Chains A and B, each alone.
Chain A
């Protein structure tokens, strides 16, 4: 009560915070001023900045610190943080807000059902507006990631921004990536930006957070620290400036490059002070794309013996260059530089051989044929079907060669070829009717599958195996049903011959598939 009208939070609080979150002093002070109940509490506050700039973490820690700081005999500040990503529906958001507020205030008997914003306002008013609280009491509602709500009505944000008009004790904090102008539809909302770190800040942070704890052998801790310092700067210049702009990705790049960078020191060829020589030696590693896009497989081959696993997992990125060539996310460039490409660690399972990413080894022949047929159906116009696949007039069907030659020499090149400049295979796949694809399938099958011709005629029609293959391809999303159930007419069954489909694999894959069966798909494509 006796306190002065304006009082900044304790300086000690800032010191501890800026130790945990280096290089964010200005933001911390600004936010603290705007949230502290005795300083300049505001009604709404927008915190924005790109990812991994410390928005959520700083707000959470700061609020906890402020709450502890102002806690004397009476509570002056309470807060809740609602993570919008965790809220599936708007109702979920309302209900978890109310539940969390009730928990923070230790309020008994809060409503469990809340369908709309107005109901939430009523509930919040019950808890925050009418009961008596000490003077200057503030309640902070933090909505984290509020720019990406699921199934939220468009009025949600303006409504939340007006909460404090109805309940003056409330401060709403909105954390967003980049708020559009006046997205809260209200004026005078202070915005605090958390900008991305600069190079110096990055280096400082990396020095404090992820400095290698153990010094390198044959060097002192002093030398290691210095080397790390210069190393992080170099990594920043090489990678962060252009591509990986966030702190975690830079951190990841540094930690995974470090073992490779210091390998010459361990080998004894370079001293830790010869930074430029080390840089030259490690230049190839800086070109490794996996630093920027680590991919989803962190452990290349997993063996059940846990000791090797641990070691492997620790320097998994160091092991990357020696990974087998079949793993596609291993960068090609690095492989040429490795001196001794060691064999991948043999797994405990003797049956497992190197897996290939090639579809042609994964799919059985029938499925492959169907996929090729559907690619043809997707990429050839219907009017050319007769020319390509008919065996009626000629013993052999005319292929692309005959067609294009005829068109090229003939006087009527056709207006169509003039205005279509883009090769058809570069255009997206067109939808086709299932019956047409099956007709193409039966036509090309005789040509491509020698076994098919040996079969006796009664066995040559559509059987359940083919339908099973179609269903499998559909479940693998290699074939896609277009138009949904409505297009089917009757019930939209997958086997409906009138249904429309589209081939979902690209040219490269199809060419590979075709070659695996001895077919040049290009010959069967018109144009």
Chain B
């Protein structure tokens, strides 16, 4: 079976893009050229896939997405277009254009995101390098090892970039050799030292390193005198550093996931570094996911005394997420808009699960890829020059006419008695194309309006809510101004001019995070009205002050009804009284009203799905994202084992959904029987049940020997997939391991 797979690279290429993998072992002759063209890494898939037939088939759905993504990444350079859509009727040019749009759209964002991430770590980097530099001259340090504790948060895996940057920055700032250790790579002291020495010596020249990988104690030569050192001997490192005429002899060792290291290993390493302290200037950095106190609790006190530590905080993941969100999703540079449902899902996952910012970024990328790969209308996102009339095929127009948003648009036109417009849209291709082109400008206007509104709203700084939440809810159901308006109404006379000034400043400067330029020229009337209101309120406040009034009250802020208690003849009387508002107060209330009107007029946004043709530039499908980034292997196994014909594509068992049938593959039959058992499974019973189903008396009529072979194989496969395991409680029984999906 394995051979047949290996010989069929073409088959894989096709299958990778299907929703399910259909197992079709019939021999297609593979050509050697294709074999060569295949990326190296795919071999791994092949061998895994061939390792066990049904397990591989079942896992296929999970792998599908990954494979697709990988393919897209590895073959970006290839000029080949995406496969034509519309059942193959899409022109090659259109497919190529989609590809091209993707190729131009993503790198822009990628660059911006990288920038944001790099920028986020900048302060930490500066702090750490100045600490390392200063610690040397610090008199209170004594012989202790300078140790930086970098609080990274639980996503150690996503701190790769940070340590990469640290290695660059510290190498430059302190002329130190930087060694990164990960717990998985260094199981014991020897391995850790080997890595330290190898990395520290290899960074400058390669005349040293290259020791053996195994447990064998290889010898390496450093320095000029030709003495050989054991490859875990720090003496060797010392000799190397001396021969490099490195006066500082600084080595920085970074423990990326310090929690995962054995305490004893850390203790040993630190004791060693400490004992070498005078000769090699060791500094250590710890990436800490939980807290320094928990980390310290795991160290011996004598080890703790050897450290001279300082704590550094990495920018919190929330803020990084916000910044990435602003520049990559909300910003004007983003070609594709992600829909509210998908965004909500992504954000929730960031908050609830252990998912780093890297996952978020790849999710965005995946959304882009899916959109341009699978949506023929994404071609409309191309710029004016490349999107010619010839490119739009009848199929494109047909597709547009089937859209929900088209239907809604036409119906709206009919309701508005624009019958000609509606009719031409449905019947006249040329008219539709014209409308489609016009729609591009409308989309731009919509986005501008949305972003400006959001920018104004956030710069008012009245309601504490995060930009991400605002953006997502604005996309989903339009902007909700109620809390803001309430807050405005409660403002005092001093705060309103400040608020207006903030708004004016926001209009003037725009928002660099969103890549939103200022729009003074376009908002002249808004600016003039705002200034007017501000002046009016200031004048009113001045008037009130002249009259000796404490401060202006509006009808919203002043307690309009006051409860009075009067004691008359030893009885308490309660009476309600309306507080009096002065003329100025009333005028102030009116001005606030006009301000609210003005703002509600200018700050608004519609839901994204109310726009005609939004399907072309907005992507809001959750399912592909979940399938790829949150796979559910349990469900996949279960599905494959209960309904194998979905994968095998055979006729015989298509009717047997969830029931036993002799024609099912052995593993599937055993799985069905397995579901009915208790926690301990008697193998003999299982065998007799199985044999009764497929034995000589049944339709399949297998001989005992063959049935037994198949039975053993099926049971072994169940064990391999982790359903059963050997039980020590009873002889001839296996234990049921898996209950949940």
- Residues of A participating in the B interface, judged by any CB pair closer than 8 Å: 83, 85-86, 88-89, 91-92, 95-96, 99, 112-113, 150, 248-249, 255, 293-304, 306, 309-310, 313-314, 316, 328-329, 347-349, 351-353, 355-357, 359, 362-367, 435, 438-439, 442, 451, 461-465, 468-469, 472, 475-478, 489-490, 496-498
- CB nearest neighbor in A for B232: A88
Report which of A296, A310, A461, A469 forms a contact with B134, defined as CB distance below 8 A. A310
Given contacts A309-B130, A465-B355, A498-B725, is CB(A351)–CB(B319) below 8 Å? yes
Tally B residues with Cβ within 8 Å of A. Answer: 89
Q: Are B632 and A313 in contact (CB under 8 A)?
A: no
Task: Indicate whether B304 reaches chain A with its CB closer than 8 angstroms.
Answer: yes
- CB nearest neighbor in A for B359: A468
Q: Are A463 and B632 in contact (CB under 8 A)?
A: yes
Q: How far is the CA of A161 from the CA of B217 in the complex (A)?
A: 27
Given contacts A297-B149, A347-B127, A465-B353, is CB(A309)–CB(B134) below 8 Å? yes
- CB nearest neighbor in B for A251: B142
CB distance from A285 to the nearest CB of B (A): 18
Chain A CB count within 10 A is highest, among B260, B315, B722, B740, for B722
Tally of contacts, chain A with chain B, CB under 8 A = 218
- CB nearest neighbor in B for A99: B227
* 29 CB-based A-B contacts, threshold 8 Å: A85-B275, A86-B235, A88-B232, A249-B305, A293-B301, A295-B304, A296-B149, A296-B292, A297-B292, A298-B141, A306-B134, A313-B140, A349-B315, A352-B316, A355-B291, A355-B311, A435-B738, A439-B739, A451-B352, A461-B632, A461-B740, A461-B741, A464-B629, A472-B354, A476-B154, A476-B260, A489-B725, A497-B722, A498-B722
User: Which B685-716 residues sit within 8 Å CB-CB of chain A?
Assistant: none
Q: How far is the CA of A296 from the CA of B146 in the complex (A)?
A: 10
Residues of B within 8 A of A475 (CB): 156, 183, 257, 259-260
Q: Are A366 and B230 in contact (CB under 8 A)?
A: no
Residues of A within 8 A of B629 (CB): 464
User: Which B99-157 residues sit within 8 Å CB-CB of chain A?
Assistant: 120, 123-124, 126-127, 130-131, 134, 138-142, 144, 147, 149, 151, 153-156
Given contacts A88-B190, A366-B353, is CB(A435)–CB(B739) below 8 Å? yes
In the complex, the 3 A-B pairs of residues with the closest C-beta atoms, listed nearest first: A349-B123, A299-B310, A357-B291
Residues of A within 8 A of B457 (CB): none
Given contacts A91-B217, A306-B130, is CB(A86)–CB(B234) below 8 Å? yes
Q: Contacts A150-B189, A302-B310 given; 19 further ones with Cβ under 8 A?
A: A85-B271, A92-B233, A112-B228, A150-B268, A296-B307, A297-B310, A298-B141, A298-B307, A299-B311, A302-B311, A316-B140, A355-B151, A359-B294, A366-B354, A367-B353, A462-B741, A463-B630, A468-B353, A472-B156
Chain B CB count within 10 A is highest, among A299, A316, A329, A462, for A299
Chain A CB count within 10 A is highest, among B293, B316, B354, B634, for B354
Q: Are B227 and A490 in contact (CB under 8 A)?
A: no
- CB nearest neighbor in B for A438: B740
Given contacts A313-B140, A465-B355, is CB(A298)–CB(B308) below 8 Å? yes
Task: Indicate whether B366 reaches chain A with its CB closer than 8 angstroms.
Answer: no
CB distance from B721 to the nearest CB of A (A): 9
Task: Indicate whether B365 reaches chain A with its CB closer than 8 angstroms.
Answer: no
Report which of B134, B227, B316 forms a contact with A351, defined as CB distance below 8 A. B316
Q: Are B127 and A88 in contact (CB under 8 A)?
A: no
Report which of A88, A112, A489 forms a contact with B193, defined as CB distance below 8 A. A88
Residues of B within 8 A of A367 (CB): 154, 353-354
Q: How far is the CA of A112 from the CA of B225 in the complex (A)?
A: 13
Given contacts A352-B315, A462-B634, A469-B353, is CB(A296)–CB(B299) below 8 Å? yes
Q: Are B272 and A496 in contact (CB under 8 A)?
A: no
Q: How far is the CA of A84 from the CA of B351 in the complex (A)?
A: 50
Task: Indicate whether B631 reaches chain A with its CB closer than 8 angstroms.
Answer: yes
Given contacts A297-B309, A366-B354, A461-B635, is CB(A472)–CB(B315) below 8 Å? no
Residues of A within 8 A of B259 (CB): 475-477
Given contacts A91-B230, A298-B140, A298-B308, is CB(A351)–CB(B315) below 8 Å? yes
Residues of B within 8 A of A439 (CB): 739-740
Residues of A within 8 A of B456 (CB): none
Given contacts A85-B272, A295-B296, A351-B319, is CB(A112)–CB(B353) below 8 Å? no
Task: Indicate whether B480 reaches chain A with its CB closer than 8 angstroms.
Answer: no
Q: Are A299 and B309 in contact (CB under 8 A)?
A: yes
Residues of A within 8 A of B142 (CB): 248
Residues of A within 8 A of B293 (CB): 328-329, 357
Q: Are B147 and A296 in contact (CB under 8 A)?
A: yes
CB distance from A390 to the nearest CB of B (A): 13
CB distance from A522 to the nearest CB of B (A): 23
Q: How far is the CA of A85 from the CA of B275 in the complex (A)?
A: 8
Residues of A within 8 A of B289 (CB): 362, 476
User: Which B292-348 residues sit within 8 Å CB-CB of chain A?
Assistant: 292-296, 298-299, 301, 304-305, 307-313, 315-316, 319
CB distance from B190 to the nearest CB of A (A): 6
- CB nearest neighbor in B for A329: B293
Report which of A313, A351, A461 forms a contact with B138, defined as CB distance below 8 A. A313
Q: Are A362 and B227 in contact (CB under 8 A)?
A: no
Q: How far is the CA of A497 from the CA of B740 in the complex (A)?
A: 10
Q: Are B632 and A298 in contact (CB under 8 A)?
A: no
Q: How far is the CA of A296 from the CA of B310 in the complex (A)?
A: 8
Q: Are A301 and B227 in contact (CB under 8 A)?
A: no
Q: Are B352 and A366 in contact (CB under 8 A)?
A: yes
Residues of A within 8 A of B635 (CB): 461
Q: Are A300 and B311 in contact (CB under 8 A)?
A: yes
Q: How far is the CA of A297 from the CA of B635 in the complex (A)?
A: 48
Residues of B within 8 A of A476 (CB): 154, 259-260, 289-290
Q: How far is the CA of A216 from the CA of B126 in the complex (A)?
A: 36
Residues of B within 8 A of A359 (CB): 290-291, 294
CB distance from A501 to the nearest CB of B (A): 14
Residues of B within 8 A of A89 (CB): 190, 217, 230
Q: How far is the CA of A329 from the CA of B297 in the complex (A)?
A: 11
CB distance from B686 to the nearest CB of A (A): 18
Q: How far is the CA of A489 from the CA of B719 in the complex (A)?
A: 10
Q: Are A497 and B738 in contact (CB under 8 A)?
A: yes
Report which of A298, A349, A363, A438 forms a contact with B310, defined as CB distance below 8 A. A298
Residues of A within 8 A of B149 (CB): 296-297
Given contacts A85-B272, A438-B740, is CB(A468)–CB(B140) below 8 Å? no
Residues of B within 8 A of A248 (CB): 142
Q: How far is the CA of A463 from the CA of B295 in the complex (A)?
A: 30
Report which of B124, B290, B349, B719 forms a contact with A490, defined as CB distance below 8 A. B719
Residues of B within 8 A of A313 (CB): 134, 138, 140
Q: Are B294 and A357 in contact (CB under 8 A)?
A: yes
Q: How far is the CA of A365 from the CA of B351 in the complex (A)?
A: 8
- CB nearest neighbor in B for A91: B217
Q: How far is the CA of A478 from the CA of B257 in the complex (A)?
A: 13
Q: Are A362 and B290 in contact (CB under 8 A)?
A: yes
Q: How far is the CA of A85 from the CA of B308 in the complex (A)?
A: 20
Q: Are A364 and B354 in contact (CB under 8 A)?
A: yes
Report which of B230, B234, B290, B353 forms a contact with A364, defined as CB distance below 8 A. B353
Q: How far is the CA of A128 from the CA of B349 in the complex (A)?
A: 71
Q: Are B228 and A96 in contact (CB under 8 A)?
A: no
Task: Indicate whether B633 reaches chain A with its CB closer than 8 angstroms.
Answer: yes
Q: How far is the CA of A477 from the CA of B299 in the complex (A)?
A: 14
CB distance from A475 to the nearest CB of B (A): 5
Residues of B within 8 A of A347 (CB): 123, 127, 313
Q: How far is the CA of A112 from the CA of B183 in the complex (A)?
A: 32
Residues of A within 8 A of B739 (CB): 435, 439
Residues of B within 8 A of A489 (CB): 725-726
Q: How far is the CA of A451 from the CA of B228 in the complex (A)?
A: 63
Q: How far is the CA of A88 from the CA of B295 in the complex (A)?
A: 25
Task: Indicate whether B579 reaches chain A with its CB closer than 8 angstroms.
Answer: no
Q: How far is the CA of A83 from the CA of B238 in the complex (A)?
A: 15
Task: Indicate whether B24 reaches chain A with its CB closer than 8 angstroms.
Answer: no
Report which of A86, A299, A478, A497 forms a contact with B131, defined as CB distance below 8 A. A299
Q: Are B354 and A468 in contact (CB under 8 A)?
A: yes
Given contacts A88-B232, A362-B153, A476-B259, is CB(A349)–CB(B313) below 8 Å? yes
